Structure 1
């Protein structure tokens, strides 16, 4: 990805610039990244096509003891249950061995899916714009350049209405403890803030991964919901284990945002395996 990057994350041609780099990884996290690079080939063997970092570590904004390690692993075929079990074991081992991270998660996808027409403006965009190459061939070379338009908005986050029933079930099944509820608050806060941002992304005409900046961009267009989004952005970074917050997400903010998203951008193309 070439071209000067603007303050709103676009290059000189108006395309979303790829964020993050291995050079931007802070010294405290370099041993974690090196260990991930060393261990991934042994976990997936010849099934491995490529691997990527994403999130705060390659963006250089990670906090020691607070940030997680996010990995995307592309396999030559669609992942199976043994692959998922191996990925969980990898995440647990890295978390155990490196106190500078607070957990982690490895996303597994198949090579053909990343490059498919159906995923071009969702998973393909994610890899090309939000992921930093770590191992293997960089599939971004086979993907288009992306603009912050309504097509990208629809295909990235136009499925919130389908996700809300799953969220309600997860909340209902969760233990009523800080330890159990905090990860849900963190995950759902981040998802809602990002969805709210991509709702207004085309008119804001740019890209950011900063939750607070996302909330401010949204609030400029939807002032009545601005404080809700600012609060969600804070909880995305510093979550509390609040069932009341989760209830407000699935009973108020989430349904409103899903309806407004559909009105403005339409509904994301259906996936064979659901949202």
Structure 2
């Protein structure tokens, strides 16, 4: 990753609509993000829609070059950012001369509280920001399992929604009930899929604890190694090294995000774990609530 760029990738769900027509969008690590809904993919402009977000900050550029490319499932927004440390956020503007804020992102992730480091010195006072937002209909519908009234509202908001999502950047489709499919191959899991995450030419799958998956699974996975990495041919490259809780027992992974070239997770035992993206081995573990 270029030293002139700060990069993050994370998952998010629209939480609520706030004043001025902006959506409050909680995430795993970038939380909170707030964005005017006209800047979101057109199919996903409703509460409870799920997204994958990537945020790039050009650390040595403040040219106010803005550009918007918004479609049904993806939106790529090149915005201008004004860093306000006193408010712990970066305000986002869609035009060089605009005085209207279209959204903001929190500064909290760049403090790297989950690693013990601090990257705030890399975030300039003014910067060019690219925010890519990908709507994930399959994950959205899967999250509504067991909530019939909410699921019907989601189907009304997006009549084309289904359990399968064609993942951009890959030839892979994810069915969040427990299956992935590529060109000439497919895999079935003994657990539901919580996150399907394309990264470079690979796919990371985080499986959801205490779920049933699909019948006749062909990929074995125990709960302590519930992140599996596949190549573009569907071959397993690695399974995440198990993480242990304070009592020494193995725990399972619940969240997944990326910061620059670092692959970050959070466990059910409330620890942050950095994994090696090439091998799945643990690089470091940081307690969420140190003694």
Q: Taking structure 1 as the reference length, what is the TM-score of the superposition?
A: 0.30
With a CA cutoff of 8 Å and minimum separation of 6, indicate the structure with the bigger relative contact order. Answer: 1
Q: Considering fraction of residues, name the structure with more helix.
A: 1
Q: Taking structure 2 as the reference length, what is the TM-score of the superposition?
A: 0.29
Q: Considering fraction of residues, name the structure with more strand.
A: 2
